[in-house]
Amino acid sequence: MLSRRAMLMTPLALIGPRTGSAASGKMTLAIHQNTSARAGYRKSLEGWSRAGIKYVELNPGLLDEFLKTDSLAAARRVLTDLGVTPISCACGAGLWEPNPGRASSLDGLKKRCEMLAALGLNRTYATTATTQKFTLDDYKTGVDNMREVGEIASQFHMTAMAEFVRTSSFISTLTTLLKMTREAAHPNMRPMLDCYHFWSGLNKLEDLDLVRPGEIAHVHFQDVPDMPRELLDNTTRVIPGDGITPLTRILRKLAEKGYAGPLSVELLAQNFQQADPFELAREIRQKAESVMRKARVM
């Protein structure tokens, strides 16, 4: 691990685009390493860099696999040598809902935050995925949990984010997530938006009107095919522009709400994950940037 002093001296050039530039109304294209998971940490980044991708979202599993045979400093050199900027990375599970394994999840969060901060990241997230049964009081505990996670993230100068999941039995909608993060009221705890979970789940476009200026900290960017929602799952995500999600309207609304950060393309189907990272990134860039231009956010 790099020292805390080394982390604090991380060059600003390596830290991802911030939403503080909201006045520009512009967004940046990124790709999530889940999209090219079979290629591994280094090869996915190498292929994307060749295709002109400048911002990347790291996969913790791919990073851990790389670290089995190499150092954290080497992982950082891969990023700097390729000229790509890491913008976010997942930090585990079981952080938001009451559960018997949460103490272990918090320990994992601390270790992951230290690692990610050393790589120059200032954002991390965890999904709300769970199938437990909950009561109304559990949501009050969830707010306290968010506040606790925000406090841990602040120790590493990071922002923690919650990603609502359409199948979650705890937080599956934007409205619930906004209510809880606002009640948590911690400056290092923010909501994020995943376009797939938003449009394929129990949300409506008008819910974006509830977002406060600058509130959304990060966005996952993908499309939904024209098929019954009952048949949708994580593997049915498609490249932005290849589906029926009103992405242009979503991006315009996010721009109105002051979002000017990355749009991270996250695809999970095997045909994407097994594809050549360079060729896939070229296709993603062509289609996703076309959507962004139509929405006037690039």
- DSSP annotation of 265 reads E
The whole-number pLDDT of residue 155 equals 98
Please state the pTM of the whole predicted model. 0.92
Q: Which residues contact 159 (CB under 8 A, 6 or more apart)?
A: 122, 123, 124, 153, 188, 189, 190, 217
Q: How far is CA 107 from CA 24, 66, 152, in A?
A: 38, 21, 10
CATH code, residues 26-262+278-294: 3.20.20.150
CB-count burial class (<10 Å; 0-12, 13-18, 19+) for 248: middle
Pair of tokens at residue 149: 């996670």
DSSP string, 144-177: HHHHHHHHHHHTTT-EEEEE--TT-SS--SHHHH
State how far the Cα of 272 lies from the Cα of 36, in Å rounded to an integer: 7
The whole-number pLDDT of residue 284 equals 98
User: Which residue positions in the chain have pLDDT lower than 70?
Assistant: 1-24
The whole-number pLDDT of residue 24 equals 60
The whole-number pLDDT of residue 1 equals 41
Q: How confident is the prediction for the chain on average, in pLDDT?
A: 93
| Dihedral pair phi/psi, residue 244, rounded to 5° | -115, 5
